[in-house]
């Protein structure tokens, strides 16, 4: 596990080497720093004549550190509404908590942002790649579902007892597979071997998961 | 099979059922467990039954229901449905294997009928061949001409007239049976020679359409439009039937789920849906004049939507919701169609025949007491106001006794060259909208009660003349020559 200082060095290297497209970076200031030594031992960086280079392994780790930092910034600015000065400081502390898995959750929560509040790119994670393949919303009303996409009913939402009874009568209950066949002029869907036609009001009371 | 309803242990539905069962003392035609389950689901009928039978225990039972409900976020109905579904699923998973099927011809055809782009042309095709060609031209034309023109007028009527004249000595009473508007010569002849064949042909087409599974597809196509007039797609069935016989269609409005929908449907059937007999005469009147026909159809269509829209705005009650199973398209079997047609024609005939005979008696009385001359005199002014010759008022009065009869009266006027193009359109509009025939008037009252039935009729009386007046005014003002 890297310590905070080592992560920050990796982030700085990512900025200097990857984003500014330099092959190497001069670290004469940090020559005898403990952290550099640690990174070298872990095979993240190679140091030659005060010039440092990221290894493939180090490049991956640096990318994740940057990603966590910038996601943290987005979280503070967009969700927690923390003002300018505090953003960097808070993010620096918070990013170290965002380890494997947690960063993905934050990324999903924020809707896979592409840049940090300062406009620098946030490196893509696995979840962002997945998000490009599957639609953004996982749970939606039946009326919003794409045609012919397989989905599962997650829950019913209506205060109207008579609407609820109609949906129950159709058998459109949670955990049932459902496929929308047509949207206009009415909603037609298939459950098992049966097809049903319903109006928009009923279709909006059924929530599905793709 | 009893399912063990789970839920948080001590407050489970199962325990509530036990507690309610213990409180139920009276005996019911279903098990106590079923009664308890229905009460937990707020079933109104069961609640009334329990209130009537249980006396003091009712409060305690209500207490249990209330307490049970407070432990669930969702309605008990929903919780039970979930439990049942889980049980069903576990059985089905063990016992049934489902093969994957690709989309076949049947499914492709089904989708064509439901897609508005292809579905509307298919609908027009069905209406043209099924209703216009088969019921209208063949049934109401060829077959009726033979039965009414040949069998009745040539053989049956003269025979029965002679017979009655021999048996009944008084001329007035002879008139009741075999006069111009006699029970036998008008009432029975209309019922047997005119309505029976038309309705039989209509029911054949309807049964075929029904058995293919086309109706739910039509309902889903039209639901959005019908919602605007306070109806749901389900109302398409009485509406389609209305093109056969609006009286019968009014009976079928019983199948609509709410009172509000039933009133709107009755209103529209009485006002703007021409029945097959009437349609036949109107087609004959306007057939040679496509422009006039188009204007008539456009006006009646607009009025249908406009009045429906207004009624739905005025009438209180919840908005209708639409849900319907869409069964696979099937090839109808001949024996099924015959059986159904026969059963329906029989049922219809038994319901309708007394009304026809009654109408004949009314007309006979009216003629006898000179009430008709009086009413015809009353109708002259409004008839002249809408730009028609005074002779047309007779057609309107008889229109009440048989809508198609009124149309036939116009047909006579037209034959004598008394109507021009504009007058034809105006009179066809007025007559389509005008008071439903007496059979339907009686049916409106029977189905909707005195107040509503009469209210609808009075509204239509004024509306039809007002609409005709406006149509006449516009056509004359803009000098439309038809």
User: What does the buried/exposed string (b/e) look like for B364-389 if buried means 16 or more CB atoms within 10 Å of the residue's CB?
Assistant: bebeeeeebeebbeebbebbeebbbe
- What DSSP string runs through chain A? ---HHHHHHHHHHIIIIIITT-S-EE-GGGTT-HHHHHHHHTTSEEEETTEEEE-HHHHHHHHHHHHHHHHHHHIIIIIS---HHHHHHHHHHHGGG--TTHHHHHHHHTT--SB-TTSPBPPP-HHHHHHHHS-S-SEEEGGGSPTT-EEEEEEE--S-HHHHHHHHHHT--TT-EEEEEE-SSSEEEEETTEEEEE-HHHHTTEEEE-
Q: Do B322 and A199 touch (CB under 8 A)?
A: yes
Residues of chain A with pLDDT > 90: what percent?
Answer: 18
Same domain, A8 and A65: yes
Q: Measure the CA–CA gap between B464 and B433, rounded to whole angstroms.
A: 5
Same domain, A113 and A54: yes
Cα B177 to Cα B147, B148, B172, B269: the distances in Å are 20, 17, 9, 31
User: Which chain A residues have a beta carbon less than 8 Å from that of B322?
Assistant: 186, 197-199, 202
3-state class of B325 per DSSP? strand
In contact, B199 and B140? CB cutoff 8 Å: no
Torsion over CA: A11, A12, A16, A19 (sign): positive
Name the β-bridge partners of B323: A198
Same domain, A97 and A145: no
3-state class of B324 per DSSP? strand
Environment class of residue B22 by beta-carbon count within 10 Å: exposed (0-12), middle (13-18) or buried (19+)?
middle
In contact, B54 and B62? CB cutoff 8 Å: no
Of A105, A133, A161, the one marking the end of a domain is A133
Indicate the pLDDT class of residue A136, thresholds 50, 70 and 90.
low
Task: Give yes or no for residue B298 having a pLDDT over 70.
Answer: yes
3-state class of B68 per DSSP? helix
Same domain, A1 and A81: yes
3-state class of B323 per DSSP? strand
In contact, A208 and A142? CB cutoff 8 Å: yes
Indicate the pLDDT class of residue B1, thresholds 50, 70 and 90.
low
CA distance A134 to chain B (A): 24
Same domain, A72 and A107: yes
The 10s digit of each residue's pLDDT in A43-80 is: 888 887 778 888 888 888 888 888 888 888 888 777 77
Nearest to A170 by CA among A148, A185, A145, A187: A187
User: Which chain B residues have a beta carbon less than 8 Å from that of A188?
Assistant: 114, 220, 326
* Residue A185: cis peptide before it, omega within 30 degrees of 0: yes
Q: Measure the CA–CA gap between B71 and B69, rounded to whole angstroms.
A: 5
In contact, B37 and B3? CB cutoff 8 Å: no
Q: Do B224 and A168 touch (CB under 8 A)?
A: no
Task: Give yes or no for residue A157 having a pLDDT over 90.
Answer: no
Of A133, A168, A201, the one marking the end of a domain is A133
Indicate the pLDDT class of residue B402, thresholds 50, 70 and 90.
low
Q: Measure the CA–CA gap between B282 and B407, rounded to whole angstroms.
A: 7
| B71 vs A100: which has the higher pLDDT | B71
Q: For an interface test with A, give the residue of B41, B81, B317 to mutate (most A CBs within 10 A).
A: B81
| A137 vs B118: which has the higher pLDDT | B118
Indicate the pLDDT class of residue A137, thresholds 50, 70 and 90.
low
User: Which chain B residues have a beta carbon less than 8 Å from that of A158?
Assistant: none
Report the CATH number that the domain containing residue A157 is assigned in CATH.
Answer: 2.30.30.90
| A89 vs B443: which has the higher pLDDT | B443
User: Which chain A residues have a beta carbon less than 8 Å from that of B326?
Assistant: 188, 195-197
Domain count, chain A: 2
In contact, B314 and B283? CB cutoff 8 Å: no
For chain A, say whether B82 makes contact (Cβ under 8 Å).
yes
Task: Give yes or no for residue B5 having a pLDDT over 70.
Answer: no
User: What does the buried/exposed string (b/e) look like for A41-69 if buried means 16 or more CB atoms within 10 Å of the residue's CB?
Assistant: eeebbebeeeebbbeeebbebbbbbbbbb
Q: For an interface test with A, give the residue of B119, B322, B327 to mutate (most A CBs within 10 A).
A: B322
Indicate the pLDDT class of residue B284, thresholds 50, 70 and 90.
confident
Q: Measure the CA–CA gap between B429 and B139, rounded to whole angstroms.
A: 24
- What DSSP string runs through A173-193? -TT-EEEEEE-SSSEEEEETT
Q: Do A185 and B98 touch (CB under 8 A)?
A: no
CA distance A147 to chain B (A): 13
Name the β-bridge partners of A41: none
Chain B residue with the nearest C-alpha to that of A170: B325
pLDDT for B235: 94
DSSP label at residue B319: P
Same domain, A124 and A167: no
For chain B, say whether A152 makes contact (Cβ under 8 Å).
no
Has domain B9-95 been given CATH number 1.10.287.1770? yes
Nearest to B212 by CA among B113, B90, B355: B113
- List all residues 6 or more positions away from B46 whose beta carbon is below 8 Å from its beta carbon: B35, B38, B39
* Mean pLDDT, chain B, integer: 86
Same domain, A110 and A10: yes
* Nearest-5° Cα angle at A109, A105 to A115: 100
User: Which chain B residues have a beta carbon less than 8 Å from that of A181?
Assistant: 111, 114
DSSP label at residue B263: H
Of A113, A133, A153, the one marking the end of a domain is A133
B215 membership: H or E segment, kind and range: helix B214-228
Distance of CA B394 to the CA centre of its chain: 28
Q: Measure the CA–CA gap between A7 and B302, rounded to whole angstroms.
A: 74
Q: Do B77 and A184 touch (CB under 8 A)?
A: no
Nearest to B78 among A164, A194, A198 (CB): A164
Q: Do B75 and A161 touch (CB under 8 A)?
A: yes
CA distance A168 to chain B (A): 7
Nearest to B322 among A164, A168, A186 (CB): A186
In contact, B389 and B418? CB cutoff 8 Å: yes
Q: Measure the CA–CA gap between B236 and B253, rounded to whole angstroms.
A: 10
CA distance B54 to chain A (A): 26
pLDDT for A74: 82
Taking residue B181's Cβ as centre, other Cβ atoms within 10 Å add up to 22
Report the CATH number that the domain containing residue A33 is assigned in CATH.
Answer: 1.10.10.10
Q: Measure the CA–CA gap between B356 and B161, rounded to whole angstroms.
A: 19
The 10s digit of each residue's pLDDT in B209-253 is: 999 999 999 999 999 999 999 999 999 989 988 887 888 899 889
Dump strand ranges (E) for B172-284. Answer: none
Domain residue spans in chain B?
Answer: 9-95, 113-279+328-352
Q: Which domain holds residue A87?
A: 1-133
Environment class of residue B454 by beta-carbon count within 10 Å: exposed (0-12), middle (13-18) or buried (19+)?
middle
The 10s digit of each residue's pLDDT in B154-211 is: 898 889 888 888 888 888 888 888 887 788 887 888 788 877 888 899 889 999 999 9
For chain A, say whether B182 makes contact (Cβ under 8 Å).
no
Crossing angle, helix B403-415 and helix B421-433, to 10 degrees?
A: 170
Q: What is the mean pLDDT of residues B131-149?
A: 84
Mean pLDDT: which of A192-201, B20-29, B276-285 is highest? Answer: A192-201
Task: Give yes or no for residue B383 having a pLDDT over 80.
Answer: yes
Q: Measure the CA–CA gap between B445 and B401, rounded to whole angstroms.
A: 15
Q: Poorest-confidence range of B28-37, B126-135, B306-315, B401-410?
A: B401-410
At A189, phi and psi to the nearest 5? -140, 165
Same domain, A115 and A168: no
Q: For an interface test with B, give the residue of A147, A155, A186 to mutate (most B CBs within 10 A).
A: A186
Nearest to B266 by CA among B283, B250, B252, B277: B250
The 10s digit of each residue's pLDDT in B147-159 is: 888 898 889 888 9
pLDDT for B233: 93
Q: Measure the CA–CA gap between A48 and A202, rounded to whole angstroms.
A: 69
At B55, phi and psi to the nearest 5? 60, -125
* Nearest-5° Cα angle at B460, B480 to B370: 100
Residues 304-363 of B with CB under 8 A from A: 318-319, 321-328
Same domain, A94 and A8: yes
Same domain, A129 and A197: no
Task: Give yes or no for residue B411 having a pLDDT over 80.
Answer: no
Indicate the pLDDT class of residue B9, thresholds 50, 70 and 90.
very low
Chain B residue with the nearest C-alpha to that of A164: B78
Same domain, A109 and A160: no
Same domain, A96 and A71: yes
């Amino acid at each position: 596990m890297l310590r905070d200082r080592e992560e920050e060095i990796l982030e700085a290297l990512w900025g200097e080497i990857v984003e500014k497209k330099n092959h190497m970076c001069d670290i004469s200031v940090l020559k005898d720093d403990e952290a550099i030594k640690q990174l070298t031992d872990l095979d993240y960086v190679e140091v030659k004549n005060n010039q440092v280079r990221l290894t493939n392994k180090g490049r991956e780790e640096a990318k994740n550190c940057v990603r966590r930092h910038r996601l943290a910034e987005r979280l503070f600015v967009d969700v927690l509404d923390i003002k300018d000065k505090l953003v960097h400081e808070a993010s620096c502390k918070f990013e170290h908590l965002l380890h494997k898995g947690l960063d993905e959750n934050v990324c999903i929560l924020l809707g896979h942002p592409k840049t940090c509040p300062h406009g620098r790119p946030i490196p893509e994670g696995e979840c962002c790649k997945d998000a490009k393949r599957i639609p953004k919303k996982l749970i939606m009303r039946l009326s919003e579902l794409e045609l012919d996409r397989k989905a599962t009913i997650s829950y019913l939402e209506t205060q109207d007892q008579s609407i609820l009874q109609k949906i129950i009568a159709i058998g459109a209950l949670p955990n049932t597979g459902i496929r929308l066949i047509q949207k206009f002029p009415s909603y037609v869907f298939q459950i098992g071997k049966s097809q049903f036609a319903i109006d928009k009001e009923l279709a909006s009371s059924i929530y599905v998961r793709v | 099979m009893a399912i063990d309803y789970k839920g948080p242990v001590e407050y489970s539905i199962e325990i509530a059922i036990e507690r309610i069962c213990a409180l139920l003392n009276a005996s019911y035609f279903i098990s106590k467990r079923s009664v308890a389950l229905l009460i937990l689901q707020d079933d109104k009928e069961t609640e009334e039954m329990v209130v009537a039978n249980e006396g003091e225990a009712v409060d305690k039972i209500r207490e249990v229901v209330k307490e049970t409900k407070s432990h669930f976020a969702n309605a008990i109905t929903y919780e039970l449905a979930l439990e049942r579904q889980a049980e069903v699923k576990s059985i089905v998973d063990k016992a049934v294997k489902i093969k994957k099927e690709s989309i076949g011809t049947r499914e492709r055809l089904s989708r064509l009928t439901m897609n508005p782009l292809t579905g509307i042309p298919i609908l027009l095709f069905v209406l043209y061949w099924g209703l216009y060609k088969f019921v209208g031209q063949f049934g109401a034309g060829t077959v009726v001409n033979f039965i009414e023109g040949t069998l009745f007028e040539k053989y049956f009527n003269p025979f029965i007239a002679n017979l009655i004249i021999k048996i009944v000595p008084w001329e007035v009473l002879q008139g009741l049976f075999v006069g111009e508007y006699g029970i036998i010569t008008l009432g029975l002849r209309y019922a047997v020679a005119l309505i029976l064949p038309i309705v039989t042909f209509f029911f054949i087409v309807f049964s075929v359409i029904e058995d293919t599974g086309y109706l739910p597809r039509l309902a889903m196509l039209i639901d959005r439009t019908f919602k605007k007039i306070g109806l749901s797609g389900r109302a398409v069935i009485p509406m389609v039937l209305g093109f056969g016989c609006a009286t019968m269609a009014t009976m079928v409005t019983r199948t609509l789920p709410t009172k509000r929908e039933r009133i709107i449907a009755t209103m529209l059937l009485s006002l703007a849906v021409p029945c097959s007999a009437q349609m036949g005469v109107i087609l004959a009147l306007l057939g040679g004049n496509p422009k006039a026909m188009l204007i008539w159809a456009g006006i009646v269509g607009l009025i249908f939507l406009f009045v429906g829209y207004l009624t739905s705005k005025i009438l209180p009650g919840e908005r209708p919701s639409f849900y319907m199973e869409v069964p696979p398209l099937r090839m109808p079997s001949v024996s099924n169609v015959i059986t159904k047609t026969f059963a329906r024609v029989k049922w219809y005939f038994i319901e309708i025949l007394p009304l026809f005979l009654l109408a004949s008696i009314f007309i006979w009385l009216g003629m006898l007491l000179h009430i008709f001359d009086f009413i015809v005199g009353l109708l002259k002014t409004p008839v002249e106001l809408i730009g028609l010759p005074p002779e047309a008022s007779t057609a309107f009065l008889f229109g009440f006794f048989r809508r198609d009869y009124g149309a036939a009266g116009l047909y006579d006027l037209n034959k004598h060259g008394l109507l021009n193009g504009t007058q034809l359109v105006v009179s066809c509009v007025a007559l389509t909208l005008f008071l439903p025939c007496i059979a339907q008037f009686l049916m409106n009252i029977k189905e909707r009660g005195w107040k509503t039935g009469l209210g609808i009729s009075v509204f239509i009386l004024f509306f039809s003349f007002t609409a005709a007046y406006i149509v006449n005014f516009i056509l004359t003002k803009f000098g439309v020559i038809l």
